[in-house]
A = this chain, B = another copy of it.
Amino acid sequence: MQSNTDIVISSRIRLARNAAGLKFPAKLEPERAKKLPREVYAAVSRTGRFTLRYVEALSEIEGGVLKEKHLVSEDLLHNAESGAAVINEDETVSIMVGEEDHIRLQCILSGQDFRSAFETADRIDDDIGKKIAYAFDPNLGYLTACPTNLGTGMRASAMMFLPGLSILNALEACVEAVARLNMTIRGVYGEGSDSAGYRFQVSNQHSLGVTESELLDAVEMSIGHIEDAELKAREVLYKNGSTGIRDKIQRAYGILTNAYVLSSGEFTQAMALCKLGAFYGFIKFSDPERFEKLMVDAQPASLQSISEGALLPETRDIFRAAMVGKVLRSIS
């Protein structure tokens, strides 16, 4: 079910699993830990096309690109000894091995599509479960390194674009409302990070004592509530003075398509304004997917990767400006 608004950018289901009879990653013997990635890869590669990527084989740029695509976490990249990610062809599925838990399986789809994301994750989870016995307790459910993940080991999270609520400083009420549904709202890269570009992650706080189905219902209800609030906020923002917000948006577009030097922070903020501008109809983008891809491509590591050469910090901002201008002009 695709949402007809631009508010839910992506839907992500993550399952935390651990192998029975093995210590959690933090305590696991290195020799044993090193074998895990290949075991997971073997379990899933029969039913799909996956690539196994060891952290130790990743360059700093490659690791950064995967992180900017939300395919691996910073924690996984710190496990250079035995960490790895098993990633499918279209990058909708990533299985981190050797993060906080032995296995962190995620399926991430664009737009609002939790049911499909869950189905895919569930199917792959079954494939792995057939080859690797999971640590499971009849009363507690799946056992995890951190108690917040006990139970289903599942986290459902939506990346939401909330400029209206952010600009009006009205997010607090949403946070309180969804807290009753066991949901929380966080900045873009998860806990403790900034909400750059009006992007927020909405996800469940714990997974104990609720079924997967109940959790999916809760996340969809929460998202529906936030979507309604965001749409109302955008309306208020428009009514309070469309001239000012329109000017701000059009100037942001002018900067993105004309600046000679563009920092990552300014880029993110200006892109967010343009995205809001597309909602209001002030700017038209012929290819919203290309727009979203640009959000990732212009991040520092992705940019390094695209430029096919080491960029000095000052050159990077010039390269970003040129690329962003070119892409945006081609789709607007």
| A42→B209 CA distance, assembly (Å) | 101
Partner of A250 from B244, B251, B260 at Cβ < 8 Å: B260
Chain B residue numbers with a CB within 8 Å of A249 are 260
Please tell me the number of chain A residues within 8 Å of chain B, measured between CB atoms: 20
CB under 8 Å from chain B, chain A span 138-157: none
Chain B residue numbers with a CB within 8 Å of A260 are 243, 246-247, 249-251, 282
Partner of A258 from B243, B253, B261, B318 at Cβ < 8 Å: B253
Q: Is A259 an interface residue (CB 8 A)?
A: yes
Chain B residue numbers with a CB within 8 Å of A174 are none
The answer on a CB contact under 8 Å between B258 and A254 is: yes
Q: Is A314 an interface residue (CB 8 A)?
A: yes
Q: Is A255 an interface residue (CB 8 A)?
A: yes
Partner of A261 from B243, B253, B254, B321 at Cβ < 8 Å: B243
Q: Is A120 an interface residue (CB 8 A)?
A: no
Minimum CB–CB distance from A79 to chain B (whole Å) comes to: 39
Minimum CB–CB distance from A147 to chain B (whole Å) comes to: 50
Minimum CB–CB distance from A107 to chain B (whole Å) comes to: 39
| A122→B251 CA distance, assembly (Å) | 49
